[in-house]
A and B are shown apart, each in its own frame.
Chain A
Amino acid sequence: MSEEKNIAIKKEENRYYEMLANFIGPFISVIAGLLVGAIFMLSIGRSPLTAYAVLFNSAFGSLAGISETLVNTTPLIFTGLAVAFAFRTGLFNIGGDGQFLIGYISAAWVGYIIHVPMIIHVPFAILFGIITSGIWGGVAGLLKAKLGVHEVITTIMMNYISLYLVAYLAGGPLKGATFLPATKKIFDSAKLIKLMPNIRGSRLSIAFILALLTAYLIYYILWKTTIGYEIRAVGLNSEAARYSGIKAAKNMILAMFISGGLAGMAGITQVLGLQHRAYQPFGFIGYGFTGIAVALLGKNHPAGVVLGAFLFGILQRGSMQMQSIAGVPKELVQIIQAIIIFFVAAEYIFKYIAHKLKENKGGVTSVE
């Protein structure tokens, strides 16, 4: 009996170290990013303390600030999930920006073309956007599964196709009657409910709640359903998956469809929750790309993605204020983001440290 208990304790310990190891890398990376940022600020004669105080303050100092931080976080949760999900199948979805735009224009179109009660309108607009952006992503999965064309190439190419397609649609056939280079405004029935209607200027909508629910849903799919089991098997060892009767092709297409739909959700919520019309894009907004960073930081785990998106949301929110109050160019935040990514990517170093740490405590090692 006591042996069993011992094993149970060991099991717990083991889990604890594993969790620690998962946190340690990203955590050190963030610290490193902030430190390097500070050095930059010092070198241009600005006070990093002031700047970071402003950053913190603007993100958390008021309800309006928090609300805006979460507004920034929302699309990054979606695109981060998109990248993470595809990655679990062993696919690298760089097409988040394109899928974003497809979801964006689709939701806008449904938003003004029909006029039905909200209870139908919102879900329908979301669903339609997910389907179109999902298909947009699924095409890359299809090309990979059937013709072996690498998804990195196809998703990048499809980014440009969607950019020009959406620019054409928003500036041409779907353009509203006003001087704005954008579609018509969506009906009120298609707008997402505001979460903080009493806070003046708060733009936060239930999109944020949707993002959190989606993260949970993705977690559930990956670890509690047969779909997730198959997807992870394909991602970890596609030969073994094939041997056991799992169809790699089907799973790749499915995973890219879901991934595309997730990135699309970022665009959909952008229209229904914030802008209420689709503007003609002049370039990529970069949510898809930042999503890669978020997924990387979050170790391709939904919970990690939410945290990663939140961090980037804070940084983005704070960058404006840092410029105006602390006199630090807002591009600096991009440098900090880049450094964080650099360190996360170089995480082998931290793995090594964690490995040594565990070695000393007699934990699991995975040298094989």
Chain B
Amino acid sequence: MSNQNSLAVDMQGITKRFPGVLANDNVDFQLKRGEIHALLGENGAGKSTLMKCLYGLYQADEGDIFIYGDKVKINTPNVAINKGIGMVHQHFMLVQPFTVAENIVLGSEPTKNNMIDMKKAIQDVEKLSEQYGLNVDPRAKIHEISVGMQQRVEILKTLYRGADILILDEPTAVLTPQEVHELIEIMESLTNEGKSIIFITHKLKEVKSIADRVTVIRRGKSIDVVDTADATTNELANMMVGREVILEVEKSAAEPGEVILEVENVHADNDRNLPALNGTSFQVKRGEIFGIAGVDGNGQSELAEVMTGLRKLKSGKIMINGKNITNYSTRDIIESGVSHIPEDRQKRGLVLDFSLFENMILGSHYKPPYASGVNMNYSSIKKESKRLIKEFDIRTPNEEVLAKSLSGGNQQKVILAREFNRNPELLIAAQPTRGVDVGAIEFIHKRLVEQRDAGKAVLLISLELDEILSLSDRIAVIYEGKIVDILDIKDATEEKLGLMMAGAESETVVEGGE
């Protein structure tokens, strides 16, 4: 180690155990000054854990950490911050009713005569934001700004505290493609200013496009470090999973049957009482995967909610299997054979303080074999949970741990297992692969196709055009709460969809294209 100081971070032989889990097993990790270094690995491989050790949220059981060549003991985030390390967590930690500036200075407020100097805070934030082209409004309240903006606030927060080593834990999982693009630019401007960035993602394309090097972690061990220029996405995928991964979806042509879901001229408001769905209509048939494409915020979330009884319709009609279920209760809709993978796993999909087995039956908890009368039947619940843990390859020491102790991707798999296991007539899947690794994506896609081939219907809502294009048999484009058009998969191209997502009618698109 002659040129130690060219290393911003050097973690040597890091081992971290949780009860029943060896989360990090003698891991070495090196971040060079000024580089963007990707961490790649399956769900539960130990990426977040390694970074939490670096940020002082966990203490490694064994191993040493060097920052710019100095050996350091980081036992709290405060120490990490003092060493110039900043971390943006996958689940943001912002105070909703506070302004952007207030959030950024929180905990290290500038003062004047013992009072918080808000003017200076705003100025500082504006200056920083300009320097890195972040474009945030210091006076806006957090709950008024988009997820992408909130993430920038998190980044600014670390910069404000003087970070020059940034850890971004799955920053792109919740972003729209446009926002991802902007984030990548921000990351580049940060490294141009001499910052070093650790970047966790499951999207191999992103790794290829921005990372200089990548460290691959598998089951707690670091497998390899490669220059991204030297590896293809397929090679990266194989390295992290340890087997061949098929990134393409294999499926035969759909054989659609009768209509199972009818959405007719639905109108509904969003949380701020503004119209979100403005006469949405479409039909989904048995034996098909029906994709909904659109830019985030065009009514996709509200659409999933009205169909599952979580949001009231102002007018319109929803039918399932010929039965009018408009404004039915959620339980009645579930009973009619609908499963729902919600877009936000922590807000809705899981009770984080419930054990894994309790989460596994959420929504079917009152029915045999999980309950008889009012008595819960925990032995059969646990048995079923064990089976699902195997089937969906959920990486957990056992079925009794709290859901919050699972890695992000494994939390998502719990929801998937539960919703598939209901064997629904109609599966509403909103961002089903958010935060899961390529191996799991392959598996989930296969399951979705199987569902279709078994004569069930799948309604896929996704912000990822790739996913929509590779899975769907028909694609509806939603724009400002209305279906712009419905395309057959053989007529759909990325460009066409892109234009329609911006509000163009398909005829004009076709004309324009010819």
Which residues of A are at the interface with B, using a C-beta cutoff of 8 A?
A: 6-7, 10-11, 13-14, 224-230, 232-233, 236-237, 239-247, 359, 362-368
Contacts and interface: CB of A to CB of B under 8 A. Distances in A.
Interface stretch (B13-21, B203-211, B239-247): B13-21
Interface in B17-71: 17-20, 52, 57-59, 61
B363 to A, nearest CB: 4
SS class, residues of chain A in contact with chain B: helix
Contacts of A233: 351, 354, 362
Given A226-B371, A241-B351, A11 B330 contact: no
A225 B376 CA distance: 5
Given A237-B351, A239-B348, A247-B329, A10 B362 contact: no
Contacts of B354: 232-233, 236
Given A13-B19, A365-B58, A236 B353 contact: yes
A362 B61 contact: yes
B404 A226 contact: no
Interface string B305-344: 0001110000000000000000001111110000010100
A247 B334 CA distance: 13
Can you list the 7 inter-chain pairs with the closest CB atoms, starting with the nearest?
A: A245-B331, A244-B363, A245-B330, A14-B19, A244-B362, A10-B20, A243-B348
Interface of B: 17-20, 52, 57-59, 61, 91, 308-310, 329-334, 340, 342, 347-354, 358, 362-363, 365-366, 371, 374-376, 378, 397-398, 400-402, 404-405
30 contacts: A6-B20, A11-B19, A11-B398, A13-B19, A224-B378, A225-B376, A226-B371, A229-B376, A233-B362, A236-B351, A236-B353, A237-B352, A239-B348, A240-B347, A240-B351, A243-B308, A243-B342, A244-B330, A244-B334, A244-B362, A245-B334, A246-B331, A247-B329, A362-B18, A362-B19, A363-B18, A363-B19, A364-B18, A364-B405, A366-B404
Contact of A245 (B52, B329, B398, B405): B329
A30 to B, nearest CB: 26
A243 B308 CA distance: 8
A61 to B, nearest CB: 43
Contacts of A245: 309, 329-334, 363
B349 A240 contact: yes
Query: Which of A364, A366, A368 has the most chain B CB within a 10 Å cutoff?
Result: A368
A158 to B, nearest CB: 29
Contacts of B332: 245
Contacts of A242: 310, 330
A250 to B, nearest CB: 10
Given A233-B354, A240-B350, A245-B333, 9 more contacts: A224-B376, A229-B376, A236-B353, A240-B362, A243-B308, A243-B349, A245-B332, A364-B19, A367-B57
A366 to B, nearest CB: 7
Contact of A359 (B59, B358, B366, B404): B59
B19 A366 contact: no
Contacts of A229: 358, 365, 376
Query: Which of A229, A236, A244 has the most chain B CB within a 10 Å cutoff?
Result: A244
B354 to A, nearest CB: 7
SS class, residues of chain B in contact with chain A: loop
A332 B147 CA distance: 54
A133 B361 CA distance: 34
Contacts of B329: 245, 247
Contacts of B57: 367
Contacts of A14: 19-20
A148 to B, nearest CB: 15
Contacts of A239: 347-348
Nearest to A237: B351
Query: Which of A10, A237, A365, A366 has the most chain B CB within a 10 Å cutoff?
Result: A237
A248 to B, nearest CB: 11
A229 B353 CA distance: 12
Nearest to A362: B17
Contact of B374 (A225, A240, A243, A366): A225
Contacts of B331: 245-247
A6 B350 CA distance: 28
Contacts of A230: 365
A280 B353 CA distance: 45
A226 B362 CA distance: 11
Nearest to B335: A245
Contacts of B362: 233, 240, 244
Contacts of B20: 6-7, 10-11, 14
A224 B375 contact: yes
B404 A368 contact: yes
A365 B61 CA distance: 13
Contacts of A225: 374-376
Nearest to B16: A362
B375 A11 contact: no
A72 B194 CA distance: 69
A236 B352 CA distance: 8
A302 B375 CA distance: 19
A368 B61 CA distance: 18
A362 B340 CA distance: 37
A226 to B, nearest CB: 5
Contacts of A7: 20, 397-398
Given A7-B398, A236-B354, A366-B405, A243 B18 contact: no
Contacts of B350: 237, 240
Contacts of A240: 347-351, 362
A238 B332 CA distance: 18
